[in-house]
Structure 1
Amino acid sequence: MHTIDLAYVGRGPHEELVTYIADQQDFYADAGVHVALRDGSIWDPERLRRGAVIGLGRTLLSRLVGGIPWVALNVNTQQPQFWFLARPGLDSLADLAGKRLAVHPRHTGPGCFTRIMLRQAGLDPDRDVETIVRAPGDYGMDLRRLREGTIDAAVVGDTLVPEAVAAENGWRVLAFAGDLFQIPTVGVSVDPTYTDPEDPAVQAVVLAHRRALGVIRDEPDTTVRYLQAFLNGHTEEEVRAHYERFIAPSFGIDGQADLATAETAVKAVAAELGVPATFTAADFYRTRPTTA
């Protein structure tokens, strides 16, 4: 049996669900690979590049800024899974002008994508919005600050069900990021300097993840049961509604990237970072049928 280190660099179903399903359903074992899942959330790029990585947003930014030749071998979705949650009185992203917004750091995928979306709404993220930067993950402090009124809105990920939280507190979901900015994200990437993309262990992981994507698309009851493990602060009805609204329509099944969408996104990210796009989407997203 092959072995491989697989690091996640964010928390929540968007990052972990496919891996969790592949493990629980024994897809890794069926493919002949033992996966050591590692928390790489605070690892520096040099440590990350020694194994396979789930987060494509972070590796894309790392290639643009640091020149690390990451390649993506599998894509789960091109609709980033985070939301703008706001107190009453705000109805659109444009209404965030002059408001206090909790955001991810600008060097992260969600942070960079948020800045792009704010600009699309006609806002300069450095001048028109008062940003409160905090690390992604547990958004409990954001919810507390929203209740206290010390912030007006927050960009939150899927460690919670945003629509359920908004309904419970009388807040608004201003926007789903995946509706505003498309970029192939979350999957499997490697640095060919250290890991051959054709390595049998890598190909086995890709195969197992594509089987897990099939479960997400074709087995809603099974997927909702697994989602409940991540979203155990919500009812089954809330989790199922989240799956039906955001997971099922957003996640693909073949692991392939839409290169036209990806090319536009890579250029937008490079422009936001202030660096040249020295490679094409096809150079980064090398998704194709697995050889496993």
Structure 2
Amino acid sequence: MTPAVRGLMLSPLGKYLTLAGLLALICFAGTVHSAGSPGLERILITHSSESISIAPLHYGMEKGFYHKEGLDLQFRILRGDLAIAAMVGSKEVDYISGAGTAFAAAVKGFPVSVLAHDFKSVFFYLMAQPNVRGGKELKGGKVAVSSLGGTGAVATRATLRAIGLNPDRDVTVIVIGSASVRMAAMEAGSIQAAVMPVPWNFRMRKKGFNELIYAGNVMSQPLTGIATSREKLERNPDQVRKMLRGFLVTLNAVKREKKEVTNFIERKYSIEPDVAEEVYGVMVQALTEDGTVPESALQDLLEQTKAEVGVKKDIASSSIVDYRLLKEAAKHFRRQGESVP
């Protein structure tokens, strides 16, 4: 255990981390780090829900891009705060596909690093009951998110402000698990609105729910990508390099293989062909060029995150986002004459 983690464990924040990590350990023990494919290193990556933001990850796994790098990459759904705790504390999680979640955790003091960004904007929509057509009708209601500290929570606050509501006073924000559970809560009428990822917004529109606002129109912060613990980055950089090489190959394939990716989206998310093509178009437009985003975007995200979580001390974005091994992975492909972003 590093001094940084030891100090964190002894703090009030650490007590929460330990409890959350224990819960994650109970969930995963005996199921993830058992023997995997022969000759491959088995690792776990998590995300808070099934959404289009992890379509590239799933596509890369299905195509075997990570296998080619020697990784047996496993995926699980796990709430963002529990994933951070399990990544830093119990080590049951190796990576998370949630750069925004990791970024916020790092601002709060968790020893995590963002390694790469696959998207430069978010894929969340604020969906509401049929009788809710704006902020006036939503005021005083309940709005569901997957967690209070994840990317969806940031999108929730931004969209609520955009329709004239104060997220701290005008609504009650509650945590209701995955997207499927939030949609069930909407259908039951127990909540008035929920922030939903693509393609869930399409499904809900067909059921008569209102699409109040697209979060991408009011925020452009880079909130999706890969993150890990600083300990992993320091102690096992070779594994991180393999992970990032698989990431870059996937990013390139998603841009070039329109038909295959569209068919994959249709099958993976059980949506109609025309909707899958529309989703692909939205997704490709939001992809980063090479897994990085401009420093100005990171600085904007840093200032907003500090304000959201109440942190006033000076923090450099470079202490949170570390592109060194990503750029090294890109050079690896260029040396071999292979096409990468």
The TM-score normalised by the length of structure 2 is 0.73
| Greater per-residue helix proportion | 2
Q: Residue 271 of structure 1: CA displacement?
A: 0.6
- After superposition, residues 103-182 of structure 1 pair within 5 angstroms as 103-138=145-180, 139-145=182-188, 149-158=189-198, 160-166=199-205, 168-182=206-220
For residue 12 of structure 1, give the secondary structure of its aligned residue in structure 2.
coil
Aligned partner of 1:240 in structure 2 is: 277
**5+ long unaligned stretches in structure 1:** none
Aligned to 1:263: 299
Question: Which residue does 1:276 correspond to in 2?
Answer: 312
Q: Larger deviation: 116-125 or 47-56?
A: 116-125
Alpha-carbon contact 2:113-2:320 (below 8 Å) kept: yes
Deviation at 1:195, TM superposition (A): 3.1
Aligned length: 283
Contact 1:115–1:272 under 8 Å retained in 2: no
Amino acid at match of 2:280: Y
**What is the one-letter code of the residue matched to 2:41?**
T
2:140·2:172 contact (CA, 8 Å) conserved in 1? yes
Deviation, 1:197, is 8.2
The answer to whether the aligner puts 1:207 opposite 2:249 as a matched pair is: no
Larger Rg: 2
- What amino acid is the match of 1:54? S
SS at match of 2:220: coil
Structure 2 unaligned residues grouped into runs of 5+:
1-38, 333-341
Of residues 98-107 and 74-83 in structure 1, the stretch that sits farther from structure 2 once superposed is 98-107
Secondary structure in structure 1 of the residue aligned to 2:211? strand
Q: Give yes or no for contact 1:216–1:223 (8 Å, CA) kept in 2.
A: yes
Matched-pair identity in %: 17
Residue 220 (str. 1) matches residue 263 (str. 2): no
Structure 1 stretches of 4+ moved >6 Å: none
What is the Cα deviation at residue 40 of structure 1? 6.0
Aligned Cα RMSD in Å? Answer: 2.6
Counterpart contact for 1:71–1:285, Cα < 8 Å:
yes
| CA deviation map 1:150-171 (0-9, x unaligned) | 543221123x3413531x2333
**What is the Cα deviation at residue 97 of structure 1?**
2.9
Between the aligned partners of 1:11 and 1:40, the Cα distance in structure 2 is 6
Structure ranking higher on relative contact order (CA contacts 8 Å, 6+ apart)? 1
Which of these residues, 66, 80, 87, is aligned with residue 48 of structure 1? 87
**Which of residues 184, 200, 219 in structure 1 aligns to 2:222?**
184
